[in-house]
Amino acid sequence: ANGDQQRPTFMVAADPNGFGLVVMPDRTVKPAEPVPTCFPRVSQALDATTWYLMTLEIAGDEALAYTDDQHVSYARHLAFLKPRWGISLRATGVDQPASFDDVALSAGVIDPHWNQLRHGFEEMAEKQPRQ
């Protein structure tokens, strides 16, 4: 069964009130992880009639998700070190249509100044309103 072979999937879950990072459970380990790992959600009004640029970056044990360079979710967790099965974008909401356009996956290199930049993102993430 595919459920027994599921490796972690990284997900950005968005709804009209904001977004958050989620790591789906790893079913390849014994005992299997029972539930997803959910990180604090960022409060942001997402209007269904407006396009937003969202970026998800994963490097080592760190993940950074942000919209329009303003609303930031930053997380550090060992789950991000596991082999990646996939990345999922999910939008939910009652009668709230959602579209994804120009989705691109690419490999990159870690900015040599990341250790300095990290502190700025951590501070931004700490100041974000949470759900």
pTM: 0.71
29 contact partners, CB below 8 Å, separation of at least 6: none
User: What is the share, in percent, of the chain residues with pLDDT greater than 70?
Assistant: 83
Short-list 38, 111, 107, 109, CA closest to 77: 38
Would you say residue 2 has pLDDT above 60? no
41-67 per-position pLDDT tens digit: 888 888 878 888 888 888 888 888 888
73-110 per-position pLDDT tens digit: 888 888 888 776 677 777 766 566 667 777 777 777 77
pLDDT band at 6 (very low <50, low <70, confident <90, very high): low
Residue 6 or 39, more confident: 39
Q: Supply the mean pLDDT for the chain.
A: 78
